[in-house]
Amino acid sequence: MPLGATRFGFQAGLRQVDVSYLVIAGGAGAGRIRDGDGGGGGAGGYRNSYASETSGGNSSTETPIVIVPDGVTTYAVEVGAGGGVQTQSYNSGNAGGNSIFSTITSIGGGGGGSRNNTAGLSGGSGGGGAWYYAAGSGGSGTANQGSNGGNASTDSAGGGGGASASGATGGATGGNGGNGLASSITGSSVTRGGGGGGGKVGTPGTGGSGGGGAGGSNASGTGGTVNTGGGAGGSSSVDPNTFAGAAGGSGVVILRWATADATIGATRTGLVDGGVQTDGSDSYIVFTGGTGTITFS
């Protein structure tokens, strides 16, 4: 049902309104590695129901959430944090946090592979495989949310998966992160959900479009961009140096509805947002952090 169309439930007088959403989970961190190449972090899961736009893994747009604007019914919202910097030597990157709106959950990105576990981890998008005297495989993405991480090859790590494309296999350079997806839910096209580039000494992979971090080159990786769900770039190092894996970018939850149909409640405890904005005949709100509930009236 298009924005601006209301419906009535089985209970007389129960008005219902469609709310479109873009729910992106936190991107994953990259693995911390020594004497090897760390895999890029996978992007956070990407779910979209706005204006027939593509959802994660190049899947079809989803169905808007039907809300009851009675000022009482609450709807959960949570913005997933990016996977934190890996402080333990040789460990895989930390997974991103899930993002939620009502019944919609986007899965955090899978961490990049490292020395103790060269395989990238599974998540919304999968982490890239690491190289440490063996080539790790990329982690799996979640159906309709993201893509797989890239495999490592000799002396080159794989890129993290993105919302629209898998991470590349490491080769002459570290594997590039998979690209993200663009959405105009706020009125302007913005690309989010890119995977992190894989590490390789001298020639790291680049991050995918939409928040992916570039890979490190005998250095720490680069973090994903905040509120994009971008994965972190993998580090690389030559013994005896040890470089930290970077953090993934935090997620975001964006809601849009017909201005004439509903007003979002002013009390949004525990959530960070920039207030209600308008675009033509619609209103939208961008949640950039926190966990809480919202109401409509």
* Model confidence pLDDT, tens digit, residues 190-203: 999 999 999 998 89
Calculate mean pLDDT across residues 121-144. 97
User: Considering just the CA atoms, what is the radius of gyration of the chain in Å?
Assistant: 20
> pLDDT value at position 13?
57
CB 29 within 8 A of CB 247: yes
What does the DSSP assignment read for 156-218? BPPPPP-SSSPPPPPSSSPPPPPP-EEE-TTSS-EEE-PPPPPP-SSSPPPPPTTTPPPPPSS
Q: Quick check: 87 pLDDT over 90? A: no
> pLDDT value at position 145?
98
The pLDDT tens digits of the residues spanning 5-15 come to 445 444 445 78
Q: Are strands 6-8 and 15-24 parallel, antiparallel or unpaired?
A: antiparallel
CA atoms of 141 and 113, how far apart (whole Å): 14
What share of the chain in percent tops pLDDT 70?
95
The residue with greater pLDDT, 115 or 214, is 115
CA atoms of 5 and 16, how far apart (whole Å): 9
How far CA 279 is from CA of 25, 35, 64, 227, in Å, comes to 24, 51, 18, 20
